[in-house]
Amino acid sequence: MKATKIFLAGLVALSLSSCKDFLDVEPTNMGKVETSIQTPADAQIMVNGMMNSMTDVNYYGRNFIMYGDAKGGDLTVYSQGRGLDALYTFNHTATTNSFSGTWLQIYNGIHQANNILEGIATIEATAPNASFDTYKAQALTARAIMHFDLVRLYGKSYDDDKSSFGVPNVTTRLGSEAQPLRATVEQNYTQILADLTKAAPLLPKTITKGYINYYTNLAMQARVYLYMKDYANALIAAEEVISKTALYSLYSNAAWVASWKTPFGSESIFELGVFATENDLGTSALGVYLRRSGHGSNNALGQFLVSDYYLDRLRQDPNDVRWGILARDETSATRMGSLYKYSGSTTLEGDGKATNTAVNIKVIRLSEIYLIAAEAALPTDKAKAVTYLNAIRKRAPNLAPATEATISLDMILDERSKELLGEGHRFFDMIRLNKTITFNDELGGLSVAGRETSINRSFYKTRLPISQTEINANPGLKAQQNQGY
């Protein structure tokens, strides 16, 4: 595919780039991928480059997370034309707003992972006693995360039609002429789980800030199994993470708001580092897109506001601690519609770095794992589900705790909404559970031509199109284009 041709030329340089905030050693000279890894330090440098690529604006740095929230009904648009409107309006075609940059960036990261794996395999063939297991396992886990994110963008839900097209499974370093075709959703999930289960025993059970460890892998397994509705395995993985109280603990209500200005806090299971001198996106960062128009920068345009539907959930308890990361928006002096998780605080404190936009990205938090455990336990053990849900529900101290008589999937889903706002989950949660998403178009008086006010996963634009550029370079993808495009 042409995408491969476009970014493979620069891939070696990208995969060998160093992130000095993560690393104490100097990078080795760049060379051929096959011989670039000679020592564990070399492998570390390549892992740094892979992690850095995941913070790109087209991936976790902004667009992927915005995709999950702008399309899920918890955010709305007050005025069109400010940026990323197409996510909210579903204005996607193969030639316009296809978000092909996200496809390219994630596959770039996958190729970096494959470079690491093949480089390690080369050196292990001649030095079998070398210690590369940690780096191999980080690459495998990251590759699984990236394939999982891609199949959620381009494929149907696992329980909807797992025999339908997902995305290409790319598990080897491709040549410039490679034209991989789409696997099925089921084949994608099989590969994702194969990578995760192979990697898990090779990973350390200690925390190294900014890197993948054994519990990151388990947390991702819990998330993947939940999407498959394999609740038994989701619960097993989630509970093992929860049990490690010496490593991870939930924030108290008093500490929850301040946690957003603290890098690598007690809930952080996988957190991507963002640094002012390296990968800070400045005015393109998530924090700027979500804060009030004009706040801290003329480039803060108030692109997205929290929807009335989200605010209605928080209004169940005026003392819900999660009000603390919201501030007034431009619509009035009282509407709390601007989100400040990625500004560190409502006063733009950042998370201790030189710029308030260089805030780390929390990919997997312990709160999510508790909510996964609650959802996974619900069909078979309501008492256990209640325990896990109430651990998060107490963020709203005046709400009655859930009981075995009152707990429901919708209650858990509402709690996921309240807790994980701005972290890229809501749309994917609604789609995987085939819930109806209703958009708050009336806040800005918007006329949206590309979708109805309410949609569910039967709407074809809940999956992105394969871009026409990709199809032109890889004609086999034409017959695999998502239906409707």
Encode the chain (485 residues) as per-residue pLDDT tens digits: 444 443 333 333 333 333 333 322 223 333 466 678 999 999 999 999 999 999 999 999 999 999 999 999 999 999 989 999 999 999 999 999 999 999 999 999 999 999 999 999 999 988 777 799 999 999 999 999 999 999 999 999 999 999 999 999 999 998 878 899 999 999 999 999 999 999 999 999 999 999 999 999 999 999 999 999 999 999 999 999 999 999 999 999 999 999 999 999 999 999 999 999 999 999 999 999 999 999 999 999 999 999 999 999 999 999 999 999 999 999 999 999 999 999 999 999 999 999 999 999 999 999 999 999 999 999 999 999 999 999 999 999 999 999 999 999 999 999 999 999 999 999 999 999 999 999 999 998 888 988 999 999 999 999 999 999 999 999 999 999 999 99
Determine the Cα–Cα distance for residues 272 and 261; give it in Å rounded to an integer.
14
Query: Can you give the pLDDT at residue 368?
Result: 98
Query: Can you give the pLDDT at residue 36?
Result: 82
Angstrom distances, CA of residue 178 to CA of 23, 44, 84, 99, 339:
33, 28, 31, 22, 42
Query: Can you give the pLDDT at residue 34?
Result: 64
Beta strands in 41-159 (DSSP E): 75-76
Express each pLDDT in 413-443 by its tens digit: 999 999 999 999 999 999 999 999 999 999 9
- Both tokens assigned to 307: 């929807």
Query: Can you give the pLDDT at residue 32?
Result: 61
Determine the Cα–Cα distance for residues 90 and 28; give it in Å rounded to an integer.
45
Determine the Cα–Cα distance for residues 239 and 6; give it in Å rounded to an integer.
43
Q: What residue type is assigned to position 216 of the chain? A: T
Q: Which residues contact 91 (CB under 8 A, 6 or more apart)?
A: 85, 97, 449, 450
Determine the Cα–Cα distance for residues 121 and 136; give it in Å rounded to an integer.
9
- Both tokens assigned to 482: 């998502």
User: Where do the domains of the chain lie, and which CATH numbers do they carry?
Assistant: 204-273+360-420 (1.25.40.10), 283-353 (no CATH)
Are 296 and 259 in contact by the 8 Å Cβ rule? The answer is no
Are 88 and 70 in contact by the 8 Å Cβ rule? The answer is yes
Express each pLDDT in 351-363 by its tens digit: 999 999 999 999 9
Q: Which residues contact 306 (CB under 8 A, 6 or more apart)?
A: 74, 75, 76, 326, 329, 336, 337, 338, 339, 421
**Listed residue (197, 186, 191) closest to 228, CA to CA:** 186
Q: Which residues contact 291 (CB under 8 A, 6 or more apart)?
A: 300, 302, 327, 338, 339, 340, 343, 348
DSSP-derived letter for residue 57 is: T
- Both tokens assigned to 10: 């620069």
- Both tokens assigned to 11: 């891939």
Determine the Cα–Cα distance for residues 204 and 248; give it in Å rounded to an integer.
15
Q: In DSSP terms, which residues pair with 270 in a beta bridge?
A: 364
- Cα dihedral sign, 88-184-93-5: positive
Query: Taking the mean position of all CA atoms in its chain, how far away is CA 19?
Result: 21
Determine the Cα–Cα distance for residues 252 and 250; give it in Å rounded to an integer.
6
Rounded to two decimals, the pTM is: 0.93
Angstrom distances, CA of residue 372 to CA of 147, 188, 197, 320, 408:
20, 21, 19, 21, 13
Query: Taking the mean position of all CA atoms in its chain, how far away is CA 85?
Result: 20
- Both tokens assigned to 346: 């409502």
Cβ-in-10-Å burial (0-12, 13-18, 19+) of 222 comes to buried
Query: Can you give the pLDDT at residue 10?
Result: 36
Query: Can you give the pLDDT at residue 128?
Result: 73
Angstrom distances, CA of residue 288 to CA of 156, 327, 346:
31, 13, 12
Rg (CA), the chain: 22
